[in-house]
Amino acid sequence: MIFDLFSKRQKKLRGDIPDVYTYDNVPNPLRVQIVHIWYDVLGNSNDYYSYRESVKSAYKLIVDTLCREYGLFHLPSHDKYGDRMYLNELANFLLNEKDIEKIIDVIELSFKAISVYTKDYNYLHRHNTSELIENAINELNYRFKEHGVGFQFVENEIIRIDSELLHSEAVKPALKLLNEKNYKGAQEEFLSAYEHYRHGKNKESLNDCLKAFESTMKSICDKHKWQYKSGDTAKNLIQICFDNNLIPLFWQGQFTSLRSMLESSIPTGRNKLSGHGQGTEPTIIPNYLVAYMLHMTASTLVFLTTAEKDIK
| Residues 166-309, CATH architecture | Up-down Bundle (1.20)
CB proximity list for 68: less than 8 A, separation 6 or greater: none
Pair 20, 148: CB distance under 8 Å: yes
Q: What span, in angstroms and rounded, lies between the C-alpha atoms of 240 and 253?
A: 16
CA distance 93 to 103: 9
Predicted confidence band of residue 222 (pLDDT cuts 50, 70, 90): very high
Angle of the 129-146 helix axis to the 28-41 helix axis, nearest 10: 180
pLDDT tens track for 85-144:
888 899 999 999 999 999 999 999 999 998 877 666 555 566 677 888 899 999 999 899
Q: How far is CA 21 from CA 132, 151, 212, 276, 290, in A?
A: 27, 8, 26, 32, 16
pTM value? 0.60
Q: Residue 6: in which H helix or E strand, if any?
A: helix 6-14
Pick from 44-53, 114-123, 169-178: least confident? 114-123
User: Taking Cα atoms as reference points, which of 105, 299, 101 lies closest to residue 209?
Assistant: 299
**Range from 30-34, 82-86, 219-223 carrying the lowest mean pLDDT:** 82-86
CATH 1.20.120 segments of the chain = 166-309
User: Crossing angle, helix 266-273 and helix 234-243, to 10 degrees?
Assistant: 170
Q: How far is CA 214 from CA 175, 263, 303, in A?
A: 16, 11, 14
